[in-house]
Structure 1
Amino acid sequence: MSASFFALLDDIAVLARAAAASIDDVVAGAAKASAKAAGVVIDDAAVSPQYVQGLTPKRELPVVWKITRGSLMNKAIIIVGIMLLSTWAPWIFPWLLLAGGTYLAYEGAEKVWHWIKPSHSGTAGVEQVVERTTTDEKQMVSSAVRTDLVLSIEIMLISLANIEASSWGIRLATLIVVGLLMTVAVYGTVALLIRMDDVGFWLIKKPARWLQSIGTGLVKAMPWVFKGLTVVGALAMLWVGGHILLVNLGEVGFAAPYDLVSSIVGAVSAPGIVTWLLDSSLSAVFGLAWGAVVMLVLALFARLRFKQPAARAS
């Protein structure tokens, strides 16, 4: 009887150690995958605040909550889809990641182009969003959730590609943790950022001079914070997109770009942070070049498309 009892305790201890090891694997995998998806997350956090512009302060947080719920639903559907694909058609992931990397590189290159050659079309979209959100909150939430869907697909694909665990259950648990962390990080940051102005104005009304100074600083700093997020987001998208493209081009049989970058980085004898910066910079340059080519192809396609009716008319 006692032997059976101690044997049961031993089995429980073994299961507990296995569970603890699994939790460690999930946490470690989630941390690594989240770091790799940072570029998309930063860009998501930079883009999202525009969807609450034009709303009254009382509606800002409820709208952010609605978008957050939509984001969680997006990630739930995406996780189910990619886990099924990982079982039945894992060969498709390099191609999906190439498509995702192309999207990131294109978005990043487009932002760089707007920095080089500013145009009124870059601000028109925000003005349209402001007009839309003041008249139709449901339409604005739907637009934000659709944008989140694209970015969430990228986050989950990047995360899955960086999970080293072979267990299906560990990969699933890691994706769930990553999805929750990313959603909280993005929309928690958005909620905090959009209320910083209110905090600043509240501090300005305080009698203490030092509180007024802090409040004034917050109000003046927020436009620069959003500009900084946009810059960091664009650079991060180029770096992450370029790295995804380099790695997955090698996966589908075109390894020359990745081998070239690896040989350049390997030839540099420097501390780890320097080689990491070099590798990231080269990935960003490749992403910028790839995105520029995509922009050129799309521009040529658009020009040919708009010329066709004129040619037929003549």
Structure 2
Amino acid sequence: MSGGLVALLDDVAALARLAATSVDDIGTAAGRASAKAAGVIVDDAAVTPRYVQGLDPKRELTIIWRIAKGSFRNKLVFILPALLLLSEFLPWLLTPLLMVGGAYLCFEGAEKLWEKFGPGHHGPEKPAAAEDGPDEDAVVSGAVRTDFILSAEIMVISLNEVAGEGLLSRAVILAIVAVGITALVYGVVALIVRMDDIGLGLAERESPGAQRIGRALVKGMPKVMVLLATVGVAAMLWVGGHILLVGTHDLGWHGLYDAVHHLEELVAHASPALDGLLAWLTNTAASALLGVLVGAAIVAVMHLIPRRSHA
């Protein structure tokens, strides 16, 4: 009896060690997948603050929370199950679907440029908080749509990083990535948009140093928000263009991707000490240019042609 009990305990211990190893492996894989998608995470954090620019400061956190809930829903309810099913049965469809999303991002970014610099532009863009008050539902809806595309790319990149794992492991890893990245991105966004309040709190303290920092935050945050709004538009064009650039390569159309890669090598060779940075900047500029061209073409189709047809 004692021998059987000892054997049973050995089996339980072995299973516990196996489970611990599996948890460690899943955690490591989730971290690796998240790191691989770091570029898109930065873009997501840059895009989101522009949605609350000009809104009632008292409503900013509420709106960000609503967008964050939409992001959780995008990743866990829609994207995760769809990616798992597609990866099992229709893996070839992932790239075309992602490219459709990339084209949508290019359209959104180019449309913002058209609104700002197009012939119908009549001065600074009115803030979202118009005289009748902000349409929060429209703000949240637009933000969640954009988040869906960025979230899809994050999840696809993460999926590609753990493609060799089993179905259950993939599901757990992607769920961890979805929750962790969403909490990180919208936590940072919430901190950014409330930084002016933090500055006011510091400015009211007795410490001269805290007061200086607080006044600097209060004075500088409006400029930071404008900068982030600009970066957000640029990020949509960059990410959308990069999705299309990589997608054409994955589908077997190598000419454009190879041309950009060749340009990266030429620029990198010009300054070996900064080869990595220069290659990245070259790829980013090429992706953004592609995003502008594709986005402008879609804007023309969506706006100019319908306008002429009604002329």
Q: Same fold (TM over 0.5)?
A: yes
- Separation of aligned partners in 2, 1:157 and 1:116: 29
- Choose from 128, 136, 146 the match for 1:140: 136
The match for 1:160 is 156
The match for 1:26 is 30
Tell me by how many angstroms 1:273 deviates. Answer: 5.2
Partner SS, residue 126 of structure 1? coil
Partner SS, residue 179 of structure 2? helix
Tell me by how many angstroms 1:219 deviates. Answer: 0.8
Does 2:10 match 1:6? yes
Partner SS, residue 126 of structure 2? helix
The gaps in structure 2 that reach 5 residues or longer are none
Partner SS, residue 253 of structure 1? coil
Tell me by how many angstroms 1:109 deviates. Answer: 4.2
Does 2:90 match 1:89? yes
**1:19–1:127 distance in 2 versus 1, CA, 3 Å:** closer
Amino acid at match of 1:97: L
Report if aligned partners of 2:96, 2:247 keep a CA contact under 8 Å in 1.
yes
The gaps in structure 1 that reach 5 residues or longer are 134-138
Tell me by how many angstroms 1:144 deviates. Answer: 0.7
Partner SS, residue 37 of structure 1? helix
**1:231–1:278 distance in 2 versus 1, CA, 3 Å:** farther
Amino acid at match of 1:22: I
- Separation of aligned partners in 2, 1:63 and 1:236: 21
- Separation of aligned partners in 2, 1:9 and 1:209: 59
Partner SS, residue 123 of structure 1? coil
Report if aligned partners of 1:239, 1:281 keep a CA contact under 8 Å in 2.
no
The match for 1:136 is none
Cα deviation per residue 1:52-73 (whole Å; 9 max; x = unaligned)?
A: x125x3x543443333333322
- Separation of aligned partners in 2, 1:236 and 1:286: 10
**1:62–1:297 distance in 2 versus 1, CA, 3 Å:** closer
Tell me by how many angstroms 1:145 deviates. Answer: 4.0
Tell me by how many angstroms 1:106 deviates. Answer: 3.5
- Separation of aligned partners in 2, 1:189 and 1:89: 35
Tell me by how many angstroms 1:32 deviates. Answer: 1.6
Identical aligned residues as a percent: 30
Amino acid at match of 1:50: Q
**1:84–1:46 distance in 2 versus 1, CA, 3 Å:** same
Amino acid at match of 1:61: L
Cα deviation per residue 1:80-117 (whole Å; 9 max; x = unaligned)?
A: 23322322322221111212222333344455566766
Report if aligned partners of 1:240, 1:284 keep a CA contact under 8 Å in 2.
no
Cα deviation per residue 1:156-188 (whole Å; 9 max; x = unaligned)?
A: 334323432222233322322232233223322
**1:290–1:221 distance in 2 versus 1, CA, 3 Å:** closer
Aligned-pair RMSD on alpha carbons? Answer: 3.1
- Separation of aligned partners in 1, 2:139 and 2:155: 24
**1:250–1:92 distance in 2 versus 1, CA, 3 Å:** same
Partner SS, residue 219 of structure 1? helix
- Separation of aligned partners in 2, 1:29 and 1:37: 12
Partner SS, residue 132 of structure 1? coil
Partner SS, residue 196 of structure 2? helix
Tell me by how many angstroms 1:230 deviates. Answer: 2.6
Report if aligned partners of 1:203, 1:212 keep a CA contact under 8 Å in 2.
yes
**1:303–1:146 distance in 2 versus 1, CA, 3 Å:** closer
Partner SS, residue 188 of structure 1? helix
**Map of 1:51-70 to 2, 5 A cutoff?**
53-54=55-56, 57=58, 59-70=59-70
Aligned length: 300
The match for 1:76 is 76
The match for 1:189 is 188
Report if aligned partners of 1:45, 1:189 keep a CA contact under 8 Å in 2.
no
Tell me by how many angstroms 1:257 deviates. Answer: 0.6
